[in-house]
Amino acid sequence: MFTILVVEDEPDLRLAFQIILELRGYRVLVAANGKDGLDTATRHLPDLILTDWNMPEMDGEEFCERLSFSPALCSIPLAVISARYPPFGTQRLWDVFLLKPVDGETLELTVARLLTGRLARPTIRPFSNDPAPSRWQPVLSKCWP
């Protein structure tokens, strides 16, 4: 069973996404803002993250950036769902951008496509003679090109 994290500050929309995805058999975790979403993602390592762009405490841009700097989270597929396009010139740190309102069928197809793509990605890192980085060593590069 795949686990999906929905990070959305609008309670009704968060619940709607949760119901749609649970009816498809996914395990759904929810968070009301980017800060809570980052904590939940770190604790549970979901298979996919759906996030809003405009949120309190930590917006979608900072949330996506923090995910990209985390070795444990940077390979998780990420879909941004927002009523407004991100500002021009914003670095693209997500796999898919959906403009609200999103209908249930589009959401389901997007989730299925992203999860299928995740299965196709290699999960084992190639062998390296380099020593493993320290857990406390800062990460200097992003997973994203």
pLDDT digits (tens, 9 = 90+) for 2-58: 999 999 999 999 999 999 999 999 999 999 999 999 999 999 999 999 999 888 888
- Tell me 129's DSSP state: S
Looking at the domain 3-119, which fold is it? Rossmann fold (3.40.50)
Quickly state the pLDDT bin for 127 (edges 50, 70, 90): very low
**Mean pLDDT value across the chain:** 82
Supply the pTM of this predicted model: 0.78
